[in-house]
Amino acid sequence: MAFSELSRPWRAPGHSNPRGGLLLCHGFTGSPQSMRPWAEDHAGRGWAVDLPLLPGHATTEQELTTTSWQDWYGCVREAALDLSREHGPIAVGGLSMGGALALALAADPQLRGHLCAVVAVNPGMTLPAAANLAELIAPVVRTLPGIGSDVSRSGVQEEAYERLPVRAVGQLRRLFRRTRRELGAVEVPVLLATSRVDHTVPPTDSDIVAAGVRGPVERLSLTRSFHLATLDHDADLLFEASARFLDQHVPTPGGR
């Protein structure tokens, strides 16, 4: 897979008086390309948007094997703190593993007061039972077929790795397990967008989130999209719901 400019980190400062800060987190083996339409939509509405590239992504599968879940989390945590220092309490949105990272940020006690809303799109919380063996078999079975481009809309291609590094799957399992365990610490409002048909993350993972968090939850059903809803038929519906939700729950900087 050749990665284009769309897979690089992307930032938008917002208008001269930004509506607020929004951090967006992409998914496992993917890149900012899958989140770029969401980022550009909200930047056009006046939000200051930060869309980082997670360590080990959009380079090579081999590089991903050298990273850990702490590297991915540390990247978005630092971005969240930087954005919050500039704009006050921010919102965080994420797709798939990015949704898990967003929820992990909201559960972090040291980030309390920095985050005020989460938008999670098909957030991952579980993996197949075989993933429990990932770290054991990684020295023998290094990669598996990739999971990218689960899109209903024709002609859409995700920029993602074509192979799945097994060692990295073990790290993903650790991240999901930790995030599930800490869902009860999430007290900010959550918009939970779930595709009815998803070949990558079971829709029941969203139910785990809804049942586990302590803050208010708003559900959005995506009936015409597969996993990558940000690139699929329901993208406009998702972006409108996200903008409405953030306007409701993110305070305007400086009380403007």
The pTM of this model reads: 0.94
Q: Which pLDDT score, from 0 to 100, does residue 255 have? A: 58
Q: Which pLDDT score, from 0 to 100, does residue 17 have? A: 78
Give kind and range of the element (H or E) at residue 210: helix 204-212
DSSP reduced 3-state for 101: helix
What is the tally of helices (H) and strands (E) in the chain?
Answer: 8, 9
Q: Which pLDDT score, from 0 to 100, does residue 127 have? A: 85
**The tokens 């409108």 sit on which residue?**
240
Q: pLDDT per position in the chain (256 positions), as tens?
A: 678 999 999 999 877 778 899 999 999 999 999 999 999 999 999 999 999 999 999 999 999 999 999 999 999 999 999 999 999 999 999 999 999 999 999 999 999 999 999 999 999 999 876 666 566 555 656 777 677 788 999 889 899 998 888 889 989 999 999 999 999 999 999 999 999 999 999 999 999 999 999 999 999 999 999 999 999 999 999 999 999 999 999 988 865 5
Q: Which residues are catalytic?
A: 96, 198, 227
Q: Which pLDDT score, from 0 to 100, does residue 89 have? A: 95
**CB-based burial, 168-194: b 16+ in 10 Å, e otherwise:** bbbbbbebbeebbebbebbebbbbbbb
How far is residue 8's CA from residue 54's CA, in Å, rounded to a whole number? 10
Q: Which pLDDT score, from 0 to 100, does residue 128 have? A: 76
**The tokens 């998803």 sit on which residue?**
198
